[in-house]
Structure 1
């Protein structure tokens, strides 16, 4: 049986690796009124493990909308696509910011499916991005 507990040291490594941002919508935890959590990329209900390469730092909204999803429909092709995996994929390969820097646009089927499935452009998230732009805290720098 898989270990059910994620150690405090593992949690700190995951947060450090994410630089304090949701690994899906790129909101910073320092400016969120909601807690962030450690999210299973492949859910435990689908045999996902507690290994570091299956864990991501996620805001509560992304975590709730992702739930146990591993795929979603791409709005362009109408085909099912896998969701973005922050351990195996580069965010900038699948997503870009619109001109206002408040809306995430999926560049690929994976990006579009993730944007829709996790509702990465929820109104409160767009409002937070707008506020963060006004104080020079958005968008986050990418490697």
Structure 2
């Protein structure tokens, strides 16, 4: 049974229309974001709101049905970021340019790598999109943490 329209609306509103992984803003995209099963249905995940996240198509497709990824610092397999049980700001920050997401924890780093959150190699070019959104005042979300600028001066 597909996720109900009411539940879809709740998930979208709860996320304030941001992808819960890369924090892209759905309002400025060309296609609606998808509803992601945090614990995939293939692993017994439900269609209940507490197992669902709003995700842009890139994040949803790249995550697929995986719940773990490799932390590039330690090489260990770790559980990916879970937007229902963890805060984005505990695991990620924006770099000083506000264009690249930096993982701050093993879970955050593994999620950045697996979902390729800073992809600048494909036609979608998220960095270019973020640059445009930054110039237009839509990016990053107001409450997201940013690394401090360490330049002299």
Give the TM bin, normalised by the shorter chain. Answer: over 0.9
If the length of structure 1 is used for normalisation, what is the TM-score?
0.95
Residue 67 of structure 1 corresponds to: 64
Q: In the alignment, is residue 86 of structure 1 matched against residue 91 of structure 2?
A: no
Distance 1:99 1:43 in 2: 34
Residue 76 of structure 1 corresponds to: 73
Q: Number of aligned pairs?
A: 140
- Give structure 2 stretches of 5+ with no counterpart: 145-153
**Residues 14 and 55 of structure 1 are in contact (CA less than 8 Å); yes or no, is this contact kept in structure 2?**
yes
Pairwise CA distance, 1:35: 3.1
Residue 109 of structure 1 corresponds to: 106
C-alpha RMSD over aligned residues: 1.1
**Residues 37 and 59 of structure 1 are in contact (CA less than 8 Å); yes or no, is this contact kept in structure 2?**
yes
Pairwise CA distance, 1:142: 2.7
- Give structure 1 stretches of 5+ with no counterpart: none
Q: Runs of 4+ in structure 1 displaced over 4 angstroms?
A: none
Pairwise CA distance, 1:21: 0.7
Residue 151 of structure 2 corresponds to: none
Distance 1:18 1:126 in 2: 22
Distance 1:133 1:77 in 2: 32
Residue 35 of structure 2 corresponds to: 38
Distance 1:46 1:127 in 2: 35
Higher CA-based Rg: 2
Distance 2:107 2:59 in 1: 15
Distance 1:130 1:72 in 2: 28
Distance 1:59 1:46 in 2: 21
Residue 19 of structure 1 corresponds to: 16
Q: Deviations over 1:43-64 (max 9, x none)?
A: 0001111111100000000000
